[in-house]
Amino acid sequence: MLDGWARRKLDPALGRTGAALAHRGISADAVTFAAFGIGIAAAAAAAWGWFLFALVLMLASRLGDGLDGAVAGHTRRTDRGGFLDITLDFAFYGAFPFGFVLYDPIANGLAGAALLLAFYVNGASFLAFAIMAEKRGMASTARGPKSLFFTTGLAEATETIAAFALMCLFPAWFPVIAWTFAGVTAYTTVSRLVLAWRTID
Protein backbone atom coordinates (compact mmCIF):
# COMPACT_ATOMS: atom_id res chain seq x y z
CA MET A 1 0.00 0.00 0.00
CA LEU A 2 2.84 2.41 0.86
CA ASP A 3 5.37 1.17 -1.68
CA GLY A 4 4.39 3.78 -4.26
CA TRP A 5 4.97 6.59 -1.76
CA ALA A 6 8.27 5.06 -0.63
CA ARG A 7 9.47 4.69 -4.21
CA ARG A 8 8.84 8.35 -4.93
CA LYS A 9 10.92 9.32 -1.89
CA LEU A 10 13.80 6.89 -2.43
CA ASP A 11 14.07 6.43 -6.19
CA PRO A 12 16.10 9.60 -6.91
CA ALA A 13 18.81 8.69 -4.39
CA LEU A 14 18.75 5.01 -5.37
CA GLY A 15 19.04 5.97 -9.02
CA ARG A 16 22.13 8.08 -8.42
CA THR A 17 23.76 5.41 -6.27
CA GLY A 18 22.84 2.69 -8.76
CA ALA A 19 24.44 4.67 -11.58
CA ALA A 20 27.63 5.10 -9.56
CA LEU A 21 27.83 1.38 -8.75
CA ALA A 22 27.15 0.40 -12.36
CA HIS A 23 29.88 2.79 -13.49
CA ARG A 24 32.30 0.95 -11.18
CA GLY A 25 31.38 -2.40 -12.71
CA ILE A 26 29.30 -3.71 -9.80
CA SER A 27 26.48 -5.91 -11.09
CA ALA A 28 22.88 -5.90 -9.95
CA ASP A 29 23.18 -9.59 -9.03
CA ALA A 30 26.11 -8.79 -6.74
CA VAL A 31 24.00 -6.17 -4.98
CA THR A 32 21.14 -8.68 -4.65
CA PHE A 33 23.40 -11.26 -3.01
CA ALA A 34 24.97 -8.65 -0.72
CA ALA A 35 21.56 -7.40 0.41
CA PHE A 36 20.46 -10.96 1.13
CA GLY A 37 23.62 -11.68 3.12
CA ILE A 38 23.06 -8.58 5.24
CA GLY A 39 19.45 -9.64 5.73
CA ILE A 40 20.49 -13.07 7.01
CA ALA A 41 22.94 -11.35 9.35
CA ALA A 42 20.01 -9.26 10.61
CA ALA A 43 18.01 -12.43 11.31
CA ALA A 44 21.00 -13.90 13.17
CA ALA A 45 21.34 -10.72 15.23
CA ALA A 46 17.67 -11.00 16.22
CA ALA A 47 18.20 -14.64 17.20
CA TRP A 48 21.01 -13.54 19.53
CA GLY A 49 18.89 -10.76 21.00
CA TRP A 50 20.85 -7.91 19.43
CA PHE A 51 17.70 -6.18 18.31
CA LEU A 52 18.97 -2.68 17.55
CA PHE A 53 21.82 -4.15 15.52
CA ALA A 54 19.25 -6.33 13.76
CA LEU A 55 17.25 -3.20 12.95
CA VAL A 56 20.25 -1.46 11.38
CA LEU A 57 21.16 -4.52 9.33
CA MET A 58 17.56 -5.10 8.26
CA LEU A 59 17.20 -1.52 6.99
CA ALA A 60 20.54 -1.75 5.17
CA SER A 61 19.43 -5.00 3.57
CA ARG A 62 16.17 -3.52 2.32
CA LEU A 63 17.97 -0.48 0.90
CA GLY A 64 20.19 -2.92 -0.96
CA ASP A 65 17.09 -4.70 -2.20
CA GLY A 66 15.92 -1.45 -3.77
CA LEU A 67 19.38 -0.66 -5.05
CA ASP A 68 19.79 -3.77 -7.21
CA GLY A 69 16.98 -2.64 -9.49
CA ALA A 70 18.58 0.78 -9.81
CA VAL A 71 21.88 -0.82 -10.83
CA ALA A 72 20.05 -3.02 -13.35
CA GLY A 73 18.37 0.06 -14.77
CA HIS A 74 21.81 1.46 -15.62
CA THR A 75 23.16 -1.80 -17.03
CA ARG A 76 20.81 -4.56 -18.22
CA ARG A 77 17.68 -6.06 -16.70
CA THR A 78 17.65 -9.86 -16.87
CA ASP A 79 15.14 -12.57 -16.02
CA ARG A 80 17.85 -14.23 -13.91
CA GLY A 81 18.16 -11.06 -11.87
CA GLY A 82 14.42 -10.89 -11.39
CA PHE A 83 14.34 -14.54 -10.31
CA LEU A 84 17.16 -14.04 -7.81
CA ASP A 85 15.58 -10.88 -6.44
CA ILE A 86 12.16 -12.35 -5.68
CA THR A 87 13.53 -15.68 -4.39
CA LEU A 88 16.01 -14.10 -2.00
CA ASP A 89 13.40 -11.55 -0.91
CA PHE A 90 11.08 -14.35 0.16
CA ALA A 91 13.97 -16.12 1.90
CA PHE A 92 14.76 -12.98 3.88
CA TYR A 93 11.12 -12.33 4.78
CA GLY A 94 10.94 -15.82 6.26
CA ALA A 95 14.32 -15.72 7.96
CA PHE A 96 13.86 -12.46 9.85
CA PRO A 97 10.82 -13.41 11.99
CA PHE A 98 12.34 -16.87 12.38
CA GLY A 99 15.22 -15.16 14.15
CA PHE A 100 12.78 -13.96 16.81
CA VAL A 101 11.37 -17.47 17.14
CA LEU A 102 14.88 -18.80 17.73
CA TYR A 103 15.48 -16.10 20.32
CA ASP A 104 12.47 -17.17 22.41
CA PRO A 105 10.66 -20.22 20.99
CA ILE A 106 8.19 -20.44 23.87
CA ALA A 107 6.98 -16.85 23.74
CA ASN A 108 7.34 -16.29 19.99
CA GLY A 109 6.89 -19.71 18.41
CA LEU A 110 3.15 -19.74 17.76
CA ALA A 111 2.90 -16.15 16.53
CA GLY A 112 6.00 -16.64 14.38
CA ALA A 113 4.52 -19.78 12.85
CA ALA A 114 1.29 -17.93 12.05
CA LEU A 115 3.20 -15.12 10.38
CA LEU A 116 5.31 -17.53 8.33
CA LEU A 117 2.15 -19.37 7.24
CA ALA A 118 0.61 -16.08 6.15
CA PHE A 119 3.79 -15.18 4.25
CA TYR A 120 3.83 -18.60 2.59
CA VAL A 121 0.27 -18.43 1.30
CA ASN A 122 0.63 -14.78 0.30
CA GLY A 123 3.83 -15.54 -1.62
CA ALA A 124 2.13 -18.43 -3.41
CA SER A 125 -0.78 -16.21 -4.45
CA PHE A 126 1.61 -13.49 -5.62
CA LEU A 127 3.67 -15.82 -7.80
CA ALA A 128 0.68 -17.79 -9.10
CA PHE A 129 -1.02 -14.57 -10.21
CA ALA A 130 2.22 -13.44 -11.88
CA ILE A 131 2.36 -16.70 -13.87
CA MET A 132 -1.24 -16.37 -15.00
CA ALA A 133 -0.71 -12.71 -15.89
CA GLU A 134 2.34 -13.63 -17.98
CA LYS A 135 0.32 -16.28 -19.85
CA ARG A 136 -2.27 -13.65 -20.72
CA GLY A 137 0.20 -10.96 -21.68
CA MET A 138 -0.89 -8.70 -18.82
CA ALA A 139 1.46 -5.90 -17.76
CA SER A 140 1.75 -3.63 -14.74
CA THR A 141 4.02 -0.70 -13.87
CA ALA A 142 2.32 0.08 -10.56
CA ARG A 143 5.64 -0.42 -8.72
CA GLY A 144 8.03 0.52 -11.50
CA PRO A 145 9.79 -1.82 -13.92
CA LYS A 146 9.58 -5.42 -12.70
CA SER A 147 10.55 -8.81 -14.12
CA LEU A 148 7.10 -10.21 -13.40
CA PHE A 149 3.56 -8.94 -12.93
CA PHE A 150 3.50 -7.17 -9.58
CA THR A 151 0.14 -7.05 -7.79
CA THR A 152 -0.24 -4.44 -5.07
CA GLY A 153 -1.93 -4.94 -1.71
CA LEU A 154 -2.28 -3.86 1.90
CA ALA A 155 0.90 -5.72 2.94
CA GLU A 156 3.77 -4.76 0.66
CA ALA A 157 7.48 -4.31 1.25
CA THR A 158 7.16 -0.98 3.08
CA GLU A 159 4.58 -2.33 5.52
CA THR A 160 6.66 -5.46 6.09
CA ILE A 161 9.76 -3.39 6.85
CA ALA A 162 7.74 -1.28 9.27
CA ALA A 163 6.48 -4.41 11.05
CA PHE A 164 10.01 -5.81 11.26
CA ALA A 165 11.26 -2.49 12.64
CA LEU A 166 8.59 -2.58 15.35
CA MET A 167 9.68 -6.11 16.27
CA CYS A 168 13.23 -4.84 16.78
CA LEU A 169 12.17 -1.78 18.77
CA PHE A 170 9.65 -3.65 20.92
CA PRO A 171 10.82 -7.30 20.97
CA ALA A 172 8.64 -8.19 23.94
CA TRP A 173 5.65 -7.33 21.74
CA PHE A 174 6.70 -9.68 18.97
CA PRO A 175 3.67 -11.99 19.38
CA VAL A 176 1.21 -9.10 19.09
CA ILE A 177 3.02 -7.57 16.11
CA ALA A 178 3.37 -10.94 14.38
CA TRP A 179 -0.29 -11.90 14.85
CA THR A 180 -1.42 -8.48 13.67
CA PHE A 181 0.75 -8.51 10.58
CA ALA A 182 -0.26 -12.09 9.84
CA GLY A 183 -3.83 -10.79 9.68
CA VAL A 184 -2.82 -7.92 7.40
CA THR A 185 -0.97 -10.35 5.15
CA ALA A 186 -3.95 -12.71 5.07
CA TYR A 187 -6.18 -9.80 4.03
CA THR A 188 -3.75 -9.08 1.16
CA THR A 189 -3.98 -12.70 0.06
CA VAL A 190 -7.78 -12.63 0.10
CA SER A 191 -7.84 -9.40 -1.92
CA ARG A 192 -5.51 -11.00 -4.49
CA LEU A 193 -7.77 -14.05 -4.69
CA VAL A 194 -10.72 -11.75 -5.35
CA LEU A 195 -8.71 -9.96 -8.04
CA ALA A 196 -7.80 -13.27 -9.66
CA TRP A 197 -11.44 -14.42 -9.55
CA ARG A 198 -12.51 -11.25 -11.34
CA THR A 199 -9.76 -11.06 -13.96
CA ILE A 200 -8.70 -14.65 -14.72
CA ASP A 201 -11.03 -17.32 -16.16
Residues lower than pLDDT 70 in the chain: 1-15, 17-18, 21-22, 73-74, 136-155, 201
Using one digit for the tens of pLDDT, what is the confidence trace for 19-61?
776 677 788 888 899 999 999 999 999 999 999 999 999 999 9
What is 3-199's CATH number, 1.20.120.1760, 1.10.1040.50, 1.10.1670.10, 1.10.357.10?
1.20.120.1760
What pLDDT, on the 0 to 100 scale, is given for residue 78? 79
Q: What is the CA radius of gyration of the chain?
A: 17
Neighbouring CB atoms inside 10 A of 86's CB total 19
pLDDT at residue number 80? 83
Alpha carbons 86 and 106: distance in angstroms, whole number: 31
- In this structure, what are the phi and psi dihedrals at residue 142, rounded to the nearest 5 degrees? -60, -30
Residues, the chain:
201
